[in-house]
Structure 1
Amino acid sequence: MAAPILVTGGTGTLGRQVVPLLRDAGQRVRVLSRHEHPASEGVEYVTADLLANEGVERAVAGAETILHLAGGPKGDVEATRNLVRAAAEAGARHLVLISVIGADRVPVGYFRMKHGTEAAVAGSGIPWTTLRAAQFHDLVLMVLRKMAKLPAVPAPKQVRLEPVDARDVAARLAELALGSPAGLVPDLPGPTVYAAPDLVRSYLGATATRRPVLPLPLPPRAGRVYREGGNLAAEGVTRGARSWEDFLRERVSA
């Protein structure tokens, strides 16, 4: 029987898109989750906690390919180190990581943390592939929904974003997981670059919400990086197909 592909974060925004693609490709899929889930056709669930380093050895046992999609607001580096340590001991042959565009350039805590996870994977001794993607449409929508409840919606005027659809990222990750280790592959941004105030206005218009938009400056160091596009993909990369406008229409109409 073929070895299963292990997916961490398989129940999250991205994982819920990746797992069916792998299953439809004829792969056995094992999902690592901190909570118990009943098995479904072609998918088994293993309860483990990467940050607490509990149950990780059982999760990686027999898995030759691992997609590391799990993440949180803190502790990602330590969680990734626990995963790669167990995976190396178990003889994993391919480790695929999702990261963020600008992880090596943007002087903000989250980006630094993601760069730390990249380093943990690259130094694991396991052949690896890392994909840096832009912010997901889902994340942008969640942030805008919260900010739109304020009397005035803040929007950093120096920030440009190129949000990408999680379905496009999932398709690329499934392709990479089924292929050979490739190191750091080209970034995956969305189809369009937006100034942050324009994203805010598009949401307010789509939801018929009346709020003033308050452009805000950034601290000098971070502001310089964002002004120079340090959080954006390089020219010439292949971009995701699904636009922010299409995504917004789907969600607002739903």
Structure 2
Amino acid sequence: MTDILVTGGTGTLGRLVTERLRTDGHEVRVLSRHSPPYAVDLRENGGGLDAALGGVETVVHCATSPRGGDERAASNLVAAARRAGVAHLVYISIVGVDRVPYGYYRSKLAVERTVEESGIGWTVLRATQFHDLVAQVLQALAKAPVLPLPAGIRDQPVEVAEVADRLAALAAGAPAGRVADMGGPEVRTFESLARAYLRVTGRRRAVVKVPLAGKTYRAFRAGGHLAPGRAVGTGTFEEYLAARFGDGEDGRRG
């Protein structure tokens, strides 16, 4: 079986990718900023990266931060992967990074290009937003008595475990270039997702749709982040909510 390094291997996606690969019999190393024995901050190109990559055939690059530094981290990883003779670099990106002029998306697109131009065999998978992120956003918005939503926005959330399965399968195979996008099973209005969240969590909030301005908002309204032709996920947002929040007091377990 293949020796594989997963960057961001303690995160929401990376942890599940690691589990899938180990279940399939692969030797997996987890690289993250604070998790020994491969505690490395890719943005700083500190010591330990070469050791982490020694003998590794495939890298699954899940590490990311909306706060910045992804491009520098990717450059450092690619340089070290070249030195180590890595044969396959797999990267998880986001649907719409080439259509929505949002800073984080632009950074993800730049990382895609770094991977493609690395000289290493590569695979890039773009997925729509995870259920977890949508719930996190709604949880933050619902802290106020009124829940404000950007008007006219739709989303297509996907179950992170399904993306992990796909990413693990790609990592176990040969470099495939840019593969087909992976979207959730339904394109939904953000309002319908918000109301589903409120129902399950037992929160009562007035929902107010707020029109915004700017190129990024227009691109989201136009559905640049959606993949309706690739609605291959099966887990719905309601199923995710039921599994996460259950039927306890105020819609939450414990």
With the length of structure 1 as denominator, give the TM-score of the two structures. 0.93
Aligned to 2:7: 8
Aligned to 1:31: 30
Aligned to 1:247: 240
Counterpart CA distance in 2 for 1:165 and 1:112 is 24
Give 1:35 deviation, angstroms: 1.3
Counterpart CA distance in 2 for 1:147 and 1:238 is 27
The one-letter amino acid paired with 1:114 is K
Aligned to 1:40: none
Counterpart CA distance in 1 for 2:218 and 2:204 is 31
Name the CA shift for 1:234/1:204 in 2 (closer, same or farther; >3 Å): closer
Superposed counterparts of 1:151-166, under 5 Å: 151-166=145-160
Aligned to 2:250: none
Aligned to 1:120: 114
Aligned to 2:49: 56
Give 1:154 deviation, angstroms: 1.5
CA RMSD after TM alignment? 1.3
- The partner residue of 1:107 within 84, 90, 101 is 101
Give 1:234 deviation, angstroms: 4.9
Aligned to 1:192: 186
| Percent of aligned positions that are identical | 49
Aligned to 1:135: 129
| Cα offsets for 1:117-161 (capped at 9, x unmatched) | 111111111110000011111111111111110121121112111
Superposed counterparts of 1:74-113, under 5 Å: 74-113=68-107
SS state at 1:7 partner: strand
Aligned to 2:220: 226
- The partner residue of 2:61 within 68, 78, 86 is 68
Gaps of 5+ in 2: 247-252
Counterpart CA distance in 2 for 1:51 and 1:160 is 33
Moved more, 206-215 or 225-234: 225-234
Name the CA shift for 1:85/1:241 in 2 (closer, same or farther; >3 Å): same
| Cα offsets for 1:28-75 (capped at 9, x unmatched) | 0011121134xxxxxxx4121101111221211211100000111211
SS state at 2:38 partner: strand
Gaps of 5+ in 1: 38-44
Moved more, 143-152 or 163-172: 143-152
SS state at 1:47 partner: coil
